[in-house]
Amino acid sequence: MAEFVLQFKEVSFSWDHDQPLLDRVSFGVQPGECVALVGRNGAGKSTLLKLASGLLKPAAGCVTLGDMDTAHTRAPKLARSVSLMFQEAERQISHDSIVDEVAFAPRMAGFDAAEVQRRVSRALNLAGLVGKANDHPLDLNGGERRMLTLASLIAQDTPLVLLDEPTRDFDAHLLDLFESWMKSALGAGTAIVFISHDLDFVARHAKRVLHMDGGEIAADGDVSSVLAHPDLQELSPMSAPTLPALCRALNVRATTRLEDFEHLWRERLHSEGWVLGQDVNQRV
């Protein structure tokens, strides 16, 4: 079995020959990993996801999915290993009913009717679309259409899922459904690579963050080390997630876990001679 579900080896790509967009980018993603891709607008994040899906081919270097080189593997075979939600997710919807949209990928993959039915039911259930199976996708609002593309990805059931700003347009209910699906998919060993400008969402879910800047991966590490690093603001104008930003302002070691913050903050107050009571905090 391949060690990585996705690997970039020295990958370069440009839309315009005079201006390379990605310059010898290398990284690997293992089964069950949750990786966030962050960076300023135009850094090349969406392009990188399209290269990862095999929709684009590198100008130099290679992208592999398991043991398949995307440059030399046909799309139907790649589709068993990877699925992608576009930034403009509604543009990838092409059927007149929700159920047909979700059934399309498993049908194309050659599954029998019973398996297609099983996958569609599971996907509609996880995406909260059971009661709308026969509706037209145009009857859905923006967030629901994004959930419909998620349902199509769930029905595809690939070991690697790529998501380009997946939580745009979500209300609290859809975000809840989406986060539940994410946790269960990761628990089942699916690898997820997602782009997001919502750094609190990144801090809640990603175990690892790739920060793209200047055509390369400028930082690759856990959430606290990448998103709370002072260089982040210098690399690109992104504010840190709420908790690491608070830690920084209070001069407490950066963390993305509320329990850790509480512990660190109590330690700090204790070291400064404060006594913490139920109702009254006073200095001795």
Ligand X SMILES: Nc1ncnc2c1ncn2[C@@H]1O[C@H](COP(=O)(O)OP(=O)(O)OP(=O)(O)O)[C@@H](O)[C@H]1O
Site residues (vs ligand X, CB under 6 A):
15, 21, 39, 41-47, 87
Q: Which is nearer to ligand X, 4 or 13 (CB)?
A: 13
Q: Which is nearer to ligand X, 116 or 193 (CB)?
A: 193
Q: If you ran DSSP here, which 8-state letter would residue 29 be given?
A: E
Sign of CA dihedral 133, 138, 139, 142: positive
Q: Which is nearer to ligand X, 50 or 122 (CB)?
A: 50
Provide, rounded to whole angstroms, the least separation between the CB of residue 235 and ligand X.
13
Provide, rounded to whole angstroms, the least separation between the CB of residue 236 and ligand X.
10
- Token reading at 8: 């970039």
d(CA 250, CA 267): 13
The number of helix segments (H) and strand segments (E) in the chain equals: 11, 12
Q: Which is nearer to ligand X, 60 or 188 (CB)?
A: 60
Provide, rounded to whole angstroms, the least separation between the CB of residue 67 and ligand X.
27
Provide, rounded to whole angstroms, the least separation between the CB of residue 107 and ligand X.
29
Provide, rounded to whole angstroms, the least separation between the CB of residue 13 and ligand X.
9
Provide, rounded to whole angstroms, the least separation between the CB of residue 239 and ligand X.
15
Q: Which is nearer to ligand X, 196 or 255 (CB)?
A: 196
Q: How far apart, in Å, are the Cα atoms of 189 and each of 73, 145, 160, 162, 184?
A: 24, 26, 9, 14, 9
The H or E element that residue 209 is part of is strand 208-213
- Token reading at 169: 């347009």
Q: If you ran DSSP here, which 8-state letter would residue 240 be given?
A: P
Provide, rounded to whole angstroms, the least separation between the CB of residue 92 and ligand X.
15
d(CA 29, CA 136): 36
Q: 171: how many CB neighbours lie within 10 A of its CB?
A: 10
Q: Which is nearer to ligand X, 126 or 193 (CB)?
A: 193
Collapsing DSSP states into helix, strand and coil, what is residue 158? coil
- Token reading at 259: 């329990």
Q: How many residues does the chain have?
A: 284
Q: Which is nearer to ligand X, 51 or 99 (CB)?
A: 51
Q: How far apart, in Å, are the Cα atoms of 137 and each of 99, 108, 141?
A: 10, 20, 9
Provide, rounded to whole angstroms, the least separation between the CB of residue 6 and ligand X.
17
Q: 276: how many CB neighbours lie within 10 A of its CB?
A: 11
Q: Which is nearer to ligand X, 87 or 121 (CB)?
A: 87
